[in-house]
Amino acid sequence: MPTKVRLKPLNQQVIVLFGASSGIGRVTALKLLKSGAKVTATARDKTGLDSLKTEAEKMGCGDNLIALIADATLTEQVQFTADQTIAKWGRIDTWIQNSGLWLIAPFEETTEAEFLQLIDVITLGCARAAWVSLPLLKKQGGTLILLSSVEARRSLPNNSAYAAAKHAVEGFVESLRVELKHDKAPVNVTTIMPATIDTPLFEKSRVKMEGGEFKWVGPRPSYHPSIVADAILYAATHKCRDIPVGTAAWIFMQLQKISPSFMDWWFDKSGWTMEKTNMPKKKEDNLNKPIEGYDNITGDYYGSKTSKISIYNIIYNNQTMVKIGAGLGIAAGIGAVLLKK
């Protein structure tokens, strides 16, 4: 029999989180700290980490946070993060790999170096996280959580490098899960697959499109990063496989299963207009080095149009209550029929 994965409550967990200075990583770190978890948070951006630590101290959680500058492309820094966590708290219960980049460019305008950089940060970043964390997670059981994307199932135009990196994570994880099952390892691997999320990712990205002086973003609808954070926290305490985030993510995946050719047609007609904005884009980007001034949870484009709820994820995160409610509804229906008799 496979070894059962036993997941602790968040207030008893030690968690490593890569990519914590802004967006999804930042709000996840704050929610974890608020829950009572001990967190080692990393990023390439020192100013973002410093402001995260200041915010944690204001919340009264500063003692539960280690903030480390670490690059997901450097194995020695990934290992150093694990070593510092073990030295401080003695174990790791959950590892969250959230490091990411975005490049918007036609494939033929994408250089080999740019393509490889996204693979290095996203795909190999997840592999390095697994190489370092699995021996530690196997000791007492735990979860490896990898931030994937809806683009791991359905690529968007002008996103070839990003989509390739996310698709590769899916292939890697499918193989890894079976190997862990075969070894009866008490480790769960979950991928989080968001739709468009309102984060500073788009402000920091490299744009190589006609009209590249303008900001390009993910297609609407957009969702607040806290919805992704809630999915991550759920995955840290429940055995999960893949969690789409945002009802749009689930719909995209279903449409791709039903008719890939329809999705091709749709993105051919709308893939360019739905991503280009009329907001000026700063020339600097974070493809090869960190940039300062973006240590926020949300970006500056979607604003009030960002959805703060996802019906799909409300249902997913409350499966027990949904089942109880369905059971009570069925019982009530049967009772009503019997009473009529």
* Per-residue pLDDT tens digits of the chain, which is 341 residues long: 446 677 999 999 999 999 999 999 999 999 999 999 999 999 998 999 999 999 999 999 999 999 999 999 999 999 999 999 999 999 999 999 999 999 999 999 999 999 999 999 999 999 999 999 999 999 989 999 999 999 999 999 999 999 999 999 999 999 999 999 999 999 999 999 999 999 999 999 999 987 667 888 888 899 999 999 999 999 999 999 999 999 999 999 999 999 999 999 999 998 888 888 888 877 789 999 999 888 999 988 888 788 898 999 999 888 654 444 444 444 444 444 445 55
Determine phi and psi for 113, rounding to 5 degrees. Answer: -65, -40
Neighbours of 274 (CB within 10 A): 16
Per 3-state DSSP, what percentage of the chain is helix, strand, and coil (rounded to 5)? Answer: 50, 15, 30
Q: How far is CA 291 from the centre of its chain?
A: 21
With a CB cutoff of 8 Å and minimum separation 6, the contacts of 152 are 163, 166, 167, 169, 170, 191, 193
Length of the chain: 341
The answer to whether residues 123 and 130 touch, using CB atoms and an 8 Å cutoff, is: no
Helix axis angle, 23-35 to 46-58, nearest 10°: 30
Positive or negative: CA dihedral 233, 234, 238, 242: negative
Strands (E), 234-275: 242-245
- Quote the pLDDT of residue 279: 85
- Quote the pLDDT of residue 217: 87
**C-alpha pair distances (Å), 130 with each of 145, 164, 278:** 10, 19, 40
CA atoms of 112 and 33, how far apart (whole Å): 39
CA atoms of 82 and 331, how far apart (whole Å): 50
How many Cα atoms sit within 13 Å of 246 on the Cβ side? 25
- Quote the pLDDT of residue 275: 83
Q: How far is CA 174 from the centre of its chain?
A: 17
DSSP H or E segment with residue 96: strand 94-97
Q: 15 has which bridge partners?
A: 39, 94
CA atoms of 1 and 179, how far apart (whole Å): 14
Domain parsing of the chain, residue ranges: 10-309
Token reading at 269: 């007609």
Provide Rg for the chain, Cα atoms: 21
CA dihedral 218→220→224→225, nearest 10 degrees, is: -30
Token reading at 287: 């493809």
Domain 10-309, CATH among 2.40.10.10, 3.40.30.10, 3.40.225.10, 3.40.50.720: 3.40.50.720
Question: In 125-154, which positions are buried (b, 16+ CB within 10 angstroms) versus exposed (e)?
Answer: bbbbbbebbbebbeeebbbbbbbbbbbbbb
